[in-house]
């Protein structure tokens, strides 16, 4: 999922209410764009 700066506030509200948000990682890109990836059971060390 790619989040642009103008979408971040709406995304953050939904993200904070997401029950497994600790399984989501974000990677900052250029121009304030962040790419979020959900870690499934297949690629998690938990």
Which residues, including other chains, have CB under 8 Å from residue 2's CB and lie 6 or more apart? Answer: 33, 34, 35, 36
Give pLDDT tens digits for 10-37. 999 998 998 888 899 999 999 999 999 9
34 vs 44: CA distance, rounded Å: 20
For residue 10, the model assigns a pLDDT of: 93
**Residue 42 scores a pLDDT above 80:** no
Spatial distance between the Cα atoms of 46 and 40, rounded to a whole number of angstroms: 10
pTM of the shown model: 0.65
What pLDDT, on the 0 to 100 scale, is given for residue 41? 75
44 has a pLDDT exceeding 80: no
Report the 10 Å Cβ neighbour count for 13: 9
List the domain boundaries for the chain: 2-43
């Amino acid at each position: 999922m790619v989040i642009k700066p103008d979408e971040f506030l709406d995304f953050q509200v939904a993200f904070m209410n997401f029950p497994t948000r600790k399984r989501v990682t974000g990677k900052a890109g250029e121009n304030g764009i962040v790419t979020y990836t959900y870690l499934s059971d297949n690629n998690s060390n938990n």
